[in-house]
Amino acid sequence: MAEAEISAQQVKELRAKTGAGMMDCKRALCDSSGDLDKAVRLLREKGLAGAKKRSERTADQGVVESYLHIGQQIGAMVELNCETDFVARNSEFGELAHLVALHVAACNPAYLDRESVPAEIVETEKEIYRARCEAEGKPEKVWDRIIGGMLDKFYQDICLVEQPFVKDPSVTVGELITQAAARIGEKIQVGRFCRFQVGAGQE
């Protein structure tokens, strides 16, 4: 089933049942042709269900990981958080932090997630998309759906957790983190990140 045929209500219902991310739910519903029970099973098989319970926990441990690209012209630092010091010392957790830092260096995300994007930037994008719909003569009744799709693409371009992971574009960075959290059994989240490039910001 195409993504356009999956309703927001279906996604909301699946999220409530599993606690999985929005894009994970949408993909599971597409893969299961809109069958809610099958979608739940797919998410469980991927270890994504149950993320909601973990999301309610406190993640105040973790590591700060850095990555320097070859030539030392581009680098990144990432704070990756977990619940316990034991997991912070775990090799899989350390590797995940390294991969996220590598991704930040390669793809230069501007924000962590869509909730971090300032409202005025989102409104400006909506105005641009609305003007484009009008200029292209799209029926007004479908503008909201078109604008929603354009916004999803906008967020995928600029938000770290929604970007396709640079080493495996079949998953987003957010999905990569969620899958690791399912294996490790703790809440894992990106606290902060920054990217440096030699000469950037200079006149």
Provide the CATH number for the domain formed by 3-53 in this structure. 1.10.8.10
Nearest to 13 by CA among 1, 26, 3, 2: 26
According to DSSP, the residues that pair with 195 across neighbouring strands are 76
Token pair belonging to 14 = 């699946």
Residue 201: which pLDDT band, with cuts at 50, 70 and 90?
low
Instruction: Indicate whether 93 pLDDT > 90.
Output: yes
Which class would CATH give 58-113+159-197? alpha beta
Instruction: Indicate whether 48 pLDDT > 70.
Output: no
- Tell me what pLDDT residue 1 has: 55
Neighbours of 186 (CB within 10 A): 21
Residue in the structure block whose two tokens are 């316990």: 84
Which class would CATH give 118-157? mainly alpha
- Tell me what pLDDT residue 128 has: 92
Instruction: Indicate whether 2 pLDDT > 70.
Output: no
Could you tell me where the beta strands, DSSP code E, fall in the chain? 61-68, 74-82, 164-165, 168-172, 189-197
Domain residue extents for the chain: 3-53, 58-113+159-197, 118-157
The stretch 154-174 carries a mean pLDDT of 94
